[in-house]
Amino acid sequence: MRVNRFVASPANNGNSRVTAVLGPTNTGKTYLAVERLCGHASGIIGFPLRLLAREVYERVVALKGAHQVALITGEEKIVPPGARWFLCTVESMPLEREVAFIAIDEGQVGADPGRGHVFTDRLLRARGYAETMILGSETLRPLIRKLIPEAEIITRPRFSTLAYAGPKKLSRLPRRTAIVAFTAAEVYAIAEMLRRQKGGAAVVMGSLSPRTRNAQVAMYQSGEVDYLVATDAIGMGLNMDIAHVAFAALGKFDGKRQRRLTLSEMAQIAGRAGRHQRDGTFGTVQLGSAANCSFTLEEIEGLEEHDFEPLTQLVWRNTDLDFSSLPRLVATLDERPPRPELVRSDDAIDMAVLKRLAGEPWVMERASSRLLGERGLIRLWQACSLPDYRKTGVETHTRLVGRVFRHLTEGRGRLPDAWIAAEIAHLDRVTGDVEAIADRIAAARTWTYVAHRADWLDNAASWAERTRALEDRLSDALHGALTQRFVDRRTAVLLNDLKARGVSAYVLIEPDGGVAVDGELIGRLDGFRFTADAAAGAGEQRLLLAAAERHLSRELAARARQLAEAGDADFTLDFDGSLPPRLLWKGARVAVLRKGRDALAPRVELDRAVAAISPHDRKRVQERLEQYVAAAIASVAAPLARVHALRTEVSAPARGLIVQLVEGLGVLARGGVTEQLVGVTRADRQALSGCGVQLGPLHLFVPALLRPEATRWRLALWAVASDLASLPPLPLPGRVSVSGAAVAAPADVLLVAGFWRLGEGKDAIAVRIDMVDRLSRHIHERRDGRVPFMPDPNWAASLGLSQDGLARLLRALGYRPRLVDGTPHFAWAGPPRLPRRRTALVTDAVSAARGNETSPFAILAGMRGR
């Protein structure tokens, strides 16, 4: 018995209208077919991809309602009882149905060595009783003329132009670009590079389930990512908003050998660029230092002009099969084509599996069983038609098909539920990487296909539901794995935001300063300073900063207003010796101090981050910080203000001392003013003492200014006024003596810090001048002229000195060691010889004493007036 899958409808008597709509991509051929389908009472369209069938199915459902529209693919069947319009893969077209309209999309696939024989069969034999439409490229024209002479050929010009844009580096690809590669490994590698450079990419491959593919395409179509990495599956009618197509290679493995793409294959892919009347471009992408591929001038001209060599043959395989015996079945499949325009196909996977099983004795026995009759051979051919979704090869796939056939020819002729349940349970895991989950989906597709064979299972509907649920779970997991691996959500959010489409993203400032844009953490906001996430790469850092500048303007303006209205308690001086001194607002850096007119009038320089706010807000921030600095200096220098007020009440020598003491910020070495001290009267001394000035044996100083906070401010002001680039390590607050690295600082630095250095080099020590003065006074009150005395052991402890250090200090104060009854004593030997040294900030004391109103206290008086 010979069985033909196609059952001719009554109208297949030459009265059915056959139309071939030919043209390049982006000509609206598919839209035309859908329009014609919906205009008939019933119809079928066969598509090259189940993804495209699903896309058009959803469109027709929106027009006609789900109860009248069916979807049939190898792994998915949605067939309502009253279905009138069918959207299918070409292989799954229900040709036994009598319908008014039939369309075959991408008819030129009939030349494909692997699947071409199925398309050729539909082109030659499938007819609607009212109308048949063949969609394809212009390369089909000569073969349509010869094989279907009754067909009316309609040419559809492309709506937009397609232009060559040359090779581009991956980093230079424009937005809305599809990069095409021909292996999963290449697709994944390119997507990974795009994640690092562009924030990520969607991935589309023919092996993806519709659910995964739709989720990935939705990411691209919504603009969440601007790049798509795909196999040549995008050439088969998938409609997306693509402006540029970049080829990562121009060759592919066709199942037998590695070869260069034909011009029509290039056109099929490149033609995805541009939609409707929007022009598109194509080119190649450079991965690394050199281009991976390049078009020839002839190819470029052909692609731009849509001028391709016509097809001369279509692939054919006999569908009029003889199931009377296994040898006859193989023989009819091997028959030669009846016309020169048709060429016999290579052995597809189903044919290869059949020939392998035909050599198995148990298969031959069951296939020729009288009990089964021709049903056994039909079951064998049906089992061989099980697609190899896993791409395991003929050997492995033959074992699976053999097991299926064995069960179908035993007992009740049904596949065991326990076997299918075990296989599904083994696949029902969503863990693993992209490749592992994709492999499980491929295996699940096998059982989805099986579940839609009602004559293979006892409860096909239940198994179809379970396999569909499994594929959905795996598809969701694969989409998540693809997104996690190939999309940097944060960078994608930023790139999407920087398109500036007028929609403000949701920005959240967390309590700890974290900044999130649409839920993606991009960095931290410390005061006015935004710091990009440290984990971001150099390119991403720029995106993060740009996003912060775009979205934080309102937050920065609000903070500027808060700062302008803040109290002094919210501000602090951050100075530990590093320069320049920093001004903090609520712990965040907002400005630094720079050299001004003098030590008591530094200039406030706003931080670069603060300078980015509006001029009005910047002015308010500047004024508020200047007010704080002026008030803080006035508070710190209050003791100096009282001293400065004595100028009109003391003698000229005392006025000179006052000026120098003020310029020295409250500390003055006695050695530099010895001559002036001679002219200071008793009344002057009493007046100075009454204002808190201590006239010590070695220094003149104001003790209140040696407290830690006052000292910190004085050091900061002195360093800024001295225009120093850096400071050596300084004594820690609270210390009364230091040694080591801190003593290496220049003497004038130590003096401003309130320390007196003894000795040079590594053995030098420094003691706080108020402690030196206190010790000197204590000894003076205790000693009896030049009579030797024994030092109190507590002196060394109170000064933080060793006994040797105390001895050095006593010698520096004018005491010399003596042995009295073998016990170390000290005796007064006369005043120490003081060096004539002045601090770096001291100006001409005489001119200052004469009333120079530009001296620091002219400024200080103005501050107090404010």
131-155: pLDDT as tens digits: 999 999 889 999 999 999 999 999 9
Backbone torsions φ then ψ of 101, nearest 5 degrees: -135, 135
In whole angstroms, what is the distance from residue 616 CA to residue 596 CA?
23
User: Span 584-613, mean pLDDT?
Assistant: 88
* Maximal C-alpha separation, the chain: 144
The residue among 434, 418, 424, 510 whose CA lies nearest residue 477 is: 434
Written as one string, the DSSP assignment of 805-866 is: HHHHHHHHTTEEEEEETTEEEEEE-----------TT---HHHHHTT-TTSHHHHHHHHHH-
Q: Which residue has the tokens 């120098």?
A: 660
CB 18 within 8 A of CB 127: yes
User: Which burial class, exposed, middle or buried, applies to 780 when counting CB atoms under 10 A from its CB (0-12, 13-18, 19+)?
Assistant: exposed
**CA separation (Å) from 668 to 653, 707, 838, 852?**
15, 16, 8, 20
Q: What is the pLDDT of residue 214?
A: 84
CB 200 within 8 A of CB 486: yes
| Residue 292, helix vs strand vs coil | coil
Q: What is the pLDDT of residue 864?
A: 39
Structure tokens at 814: 């004018």
CB 743 within 8 A of CB 757: yes
User: Span 294-322, mean pLDDT?
Assistant: 91
Q: Would the pLDDT of 204 be above 60?
A: yes
Per-residue pLDDT tens for 713-763? Answer: 988 998 888 888 877 777 888 888 888 777 777 778 888 888 988 888 777
Written as one string, the DSSP assignment of 600-636 is: TSPEEEE-TTGGGS-HHHHHHHHHHHHHHHHHHHHHH
Q: What is the pLDDT of residue 206?
A: 76
First-last CA distance in the chain: 113
Amino acid letter at 137?
S
What is the radius of gyration, based on Cα positions, of the chain? 46
CB atoms within 10 A of CB 171: 12
CB 197 within 8 A of CB 171: yes
Written as one string, the DSSP assignment of 667-681 is: EEEGGGGHHHHHT--
Q: Provide the pLDDT confidence category of residue 833 given band limits of 50, 70 and 90.
A: low
**CA separation (Å) from 110 to 123, 163, 335, 681?**
8, 28, 18, 118
In whole angstroms, what is the distance from residue 684 CA to residue 813 CA?
25
| Residue 507, helix vs strand vs coil | strand
Structure tokens at 347: 């052995």
The residue among 104, 60, 106 whose CA lies nearest residue 83 is: 60
Structure tokens at 308: 């391709």
In whole angstroms, what is the distance from residue 607 CA to residue 119 CA?
70
Q: Would the pLDDT of 307 be above 70?
A: yes
CB 14 within 8 A of CB 127: no
Higher pLDDT, 764 or 256: 764
Cβ neighbors of 466 (< 8 A, separation 6 or more) are 424, 451
Q: Would the pLDDT of 277 be above 80?
A: no
Q: What is the pLDDT of residue 662?
A: 85
Backbone torsions φ then ψ of 182, nearest 5 degrees: -125, 5
Low-confidence winner among 107-111, 319-323, 468-472, 509-513 (lowest mean pLDDT): 509-513
In whole angstroms, what is the distance from residue 592 CA to residue 382 CA?
82
Q: Would the pLDDT of 614 be above 80?
A: yes
Q: Provide the pLDDT confidence category of residue 866 given band limits of 50, 70 and 90.
A: very low
Q: Which residue has the tokens 């999407």?
A: 496
User: Span 568-574, mean pLDDT?
Assistant: 92
CB atoms within 10 A of CB 642: 15
Per-residue pLDDT tens for 844-860? Answer: 333 333 344 434 444 34
Q: What is the pLDDT of residue 838?
A: 43
Q: What is the pLDDT of residue 61?
A: 96
Per-residue pLDDT tens for 623-670? Answer: 999 999 999 988 888 888 888 888 888 888 888 888 888 888 889 888
User: Which burial class, exposed, middle or buried, applies to 85 when counting CB atoms under 10 A from its CB (0-12, 13-18, 19+)?
Assistant: buried
Mean pLDDT of the chain: 84
Percent of the chain having pLDDT more than 90? Answer: 35
Q: Would the pLDDT of 574 be above 70?
A: yes
Amino acid letter at 261?
L
DSSP conformational letter for 18: E
Q: Would the pLDDT of 539 be above 90?
A: no
Helix 326-333 with 374-384: angle, nearest 10 deg = 50
Per-residue pLDDT tens for 342-386? Answer: 999 878 899 999 999 998 999 888 887 766 667 888 899 999 999
DSSP conformational letter for 791: P
CB 661 within 8 A of CB 668: yes
Cβ neighbors of 524 (< 8 A, separation 6 or more) are 512, 513, 514, 515, 530, 531
Q: Would the pLDDT of 547 be above 50?
A: yes
Q: What is the pLDDT of residue 834?
A: 59
In whole angstroms, what is the distance from residue 200 CA to residue 220 CA?
10
Q: Which residue has the tokens 């995008």?
A: 234
Q: What is the pLDDT of residue 623?
A: 94
Q: What is the pLDDT of residue 545?
A: 61
Structure tokens at 322: 């003889």
Written as one string, the DSSP assignment of 368-397 is: T-TTTTHHHHHHHHHHHTS--TT---HHHH
C-alpha 638: how far from chain center? 54
- CA 305-307-308 angle, to 5 degrees, is 145
Per-residue pLDDT tens for 553-569? Answer: 778 888 999 999 999 99
Q: What is the pLDDT of residue 1?
A: 42
In whole angstroms, what is the distance from residue 583 CA to residue 601 CA?
15
Q: Provide the pLDDT confidence category of residue 84 given band limits of 50, 70 and 90.
A: very high
Low-confidence winner among 122-126, 423-427, 542-546 (lowest mean pLDDT): 542-546
User: Span 400-426, mean pLDDT?
Assistant: 92
Q: What is the pLDDT of residue 863?
A: 38
User: Span 583-592, mean pLDDT?
Assistant: 91
Q: Give me the torsion for CA of 399, 400, 403, 405, rounded to 10°.
A: -110
Q: Say if residue 210 is preceded by a cis peptide, omega within 30 of 0.
A: no
Written as one string, the DSSP assignment of 337-355 is: PSSTTEEEPP--HHHHHHH
